[in-house]
Chains A and B, each alone.
Chain A
């Protein structure tokens, strides 16, 4: 680019009236090896800006975690619901069939005892029926001793 155009741009630049594009032209011109001798004193300025633009931060930004947890509150509710259903299902299925060997034996013994007791009570009732004949004595004695 001819140096007089650069001079014009420079004048505008120092008045603060150049556009981003024009400033880009200036930066490009001054980053070249062939800068007109009388303009060389401006080069460090534009080189400095270019360099400053390349500087990067080395650090990692640390941000707190709790907000992420808050965003997924429904996940925890869903998880606890699934667990509750699982536990409830386990308990209910076990109540019906999941008896241990000992419990099954106890149940059988209970049934046998019940049958035995039933038999005893049946015999007992039979005996009690027989006792009704004793009442006959009472009625007959009442007739005689009236």
Chain B
């Protein structure tokens, strides 16, 4: 399963819940499997899989079934200094929480660019958009995270 983790991370970014994300990935693979003959015609199967995952997750999010999603956090990496570790964990946690509050499109763009490091052209293809729109969304998402983070830090100091 070549893109399993990438698709899973994207699904989890959109759906937040780990279980929901795993179900979504399973479902997407099933769909890809059924359309196996068709997928070989696409020049970029990875982009196609990402697009499918995104659409499926957004559908899930809008359906009534997903009305009671719960937030499940994973464990985070450790660093040497305990004090720093606690601080970093809080900061990182905060970033994840802020990301959850972003509009869906911004969240997806941020995930695809800053987490998965896709080129703008690829993201534009995946989201059926153009590079300028992607850059605008990305800039907004990054700025929102920065502002929210600053606010949290100031609150901690004051």
Contact = CB atoms under 8 A, between A and B. Distances in A.
- Do they bind each other? yes
A91 interface: no
B39 interface: no
Nearest to A43: B91
Q: Which applies to chain A's interface (DSSP): helix, strand, loop or mixed?
A: helix
Contacts of B36: 67
Interface of B: 1, 4-5, 8-9, 12-13, 21-22, 25-26, 29-30, 33, 36, 74, 76-77, 88, 90-92, 94-96, 99, 111, 114-117, 119, 134-136, 138-139, 142-143, 145-146, 149-150, 153
A17 interface: yes
A54 B149 CA distance: 22
B149 A41 contact: yes
Given A45-B146, A48-B95, A61-B26, A14 B139 contact: yes
Contacts of A45: 95, 142, 145-146, 149
B1 A61 contact: yes
A3 B59 CA distance: 44
B116 A55 contact: no
Q: Which applies to chain B's interface (DSSP): helix, strand, loop or mixed?
A: helix
B54 to A, nearest CB: 16
A42 B76 contact: no
Contact of B22 (A17, A43, A57): A57
Size bracket, chain A contacts: 20 to 34
A13 interface: yes
Contacts of A59: 22, 25-26
A48 B92 contact: yes
B2 to A, nearest CB: 11
A13 B92 contact: no
With a 10 A CB-CB cut-off, give which of A41, A43, A47, A57 has the most chain B CB atoms: A57
A105 B77 CA distance: 90
Given A61-B1, A64-B30, A67-B36, 20 more contacts: A14-B142, A14-B146, A16-B134, A20-B119, A24-B117, A41-B153, A42-B149, A43-B91, A44-B95, A44-B149, A47-B88, A48-B92, A48-B95, A52-B9, A57-B22, A59-B22, A61-B4, A61-B25, A61-B26, A62-B26
With a 10 A CB-CB cut-off, give which of B12, B33, B95, B138 has the most chain A CB atoms: B95
B133 to A, nearest CB: 11
A82 B155 CA distance: 80
A45 B148 CA distance: 11
B157 to A, nearest CB: 11
